[in-house]
Amino acid sequence: MYEGAVQDLIDELGRLPGVGPKSAQRIAFHLLAADAADVRRLADALTEVKLRVQFCEVCGNVAESERCRICSDPRRGDDVICVVEEPKDVVAIERTREFRGRYHVLGGAINPLDNVGPDDLRISELMTRLADGAVTEVIIATDPNVEGEATATYLSRLIGPMGLTVSRLASGLPVGGDLEYADEVTLGRAFEGRRVVGS
Ligand SMILES: [Zn+2]
């Protein structure tokens, strides 16, 4: 449609999640019209994030060194692990200020339609963490949708026999949605009212 560099930019933007062809075109022309300094900052931020940010060796959250801020914090409890799908869910739960334990980021949810099975998630890493005996409760905070529920059921069957308390966030979260879209109060209440699931 366009020539060379402009079309390359539109193609790259169009590969981003949630950006359709029209949005890609709009962003590309916005960048073309923007100040060179502003575009430079955006380009630098993209380069920097790939250079500096890695995934925490313990929990899988985003980190700027081997361990993330939460795993390196000695004031947080080691007895409870909250299992989430993505790093953005850690941010959503941290906003509620209800939780002072540690996290485990799975990197997604079980989704047969997208060929995502248990082996594609950080489940074996979770089992290794649970095996050291410090953890007494696992809170499963996967998204309140079909994939999140399937993942929660799979995990509770796997963890239950280990003699740990496995709990799931209380209902009241918008069904079918993403954890990150729940407001702090709702998510905080769901956390407080979490229920123990069968072993
Ligand atoms: Zn971590």
Ligand 1 geometric centre to CA of 58 (Å): 5
Q: Per-residue confidence at 98, pLDDT binned at 50, 70, 90?
A: confident
Ligand 1 geometric centre to CA of 6 (Å): 39
**pLDDT tens column, 140-190:** 999 988 899 999 999 999 998 898 999 998 766 666 667 777 778 788 878
Burial class of 160 by CB neighbour count within 10 A (0 to 12, 13 to 18, 19+) = middle
> What's the pLDDT score for residue 192?
79
**What distance, in Å, lies between the first and last C-alpha atoms of the chain?**
57
CB 24 within 8 A of CB 1: no
Ligand 1 geometric centre to CA of 107 (Å): 13
Ligand 1 geometric centre to CA of 80 (Å): 14
Give me the residues near ligand 1 (ion), CB cutoff below 5 Å. 56, 58-59, 61, 68, 71
pTM: 0.79
Ligand 1 geometric centre to CA of 138 (Å): 16
Ligand 1 geometric centre to CA of 56 (Å): 5
> What's the pLDDT score for residue 174?
67
Ligand 1 geometric centre to CA of 114 (Å): 27
Ligand 1 geometric centre to CA of 89 (Å): 13
Cα-to-chain-centroid distance, residue 20: 23
Phi and psi, residue 103, nearest 5°: -120, 165
Alpha helices by DSSP H, listed for 86-181, are 87-96, 123-130, 146-159
Burial class of 120 by CB neighbour count within 10 A (0 to 12, 13 to 18, 19+) = middle
The mean of the pLDDT values for the chain is: 91
Q: What percent of the chain is predicted at pLDDT more than 70?
A: 95
Ligand 1 geometric centre to CA of 171 (Å): 27
CA nearest neighbour of 176 among 142, 145, 149, 153: 145
Cα separation, 81 vs 159, whole angstroms: 12
189: part of which helix (H) or strand (E)? Answer: helix 184-192
Cα separation, 65 vs 138, whole angstroms: 25
Joined tokens for residue 86:
């993505």
Ligand 1 geometric centre to CA of 14 (Å): 31
More confident residue, 197 or 88: 88
> What's the pLDDT score for residue 182?
75
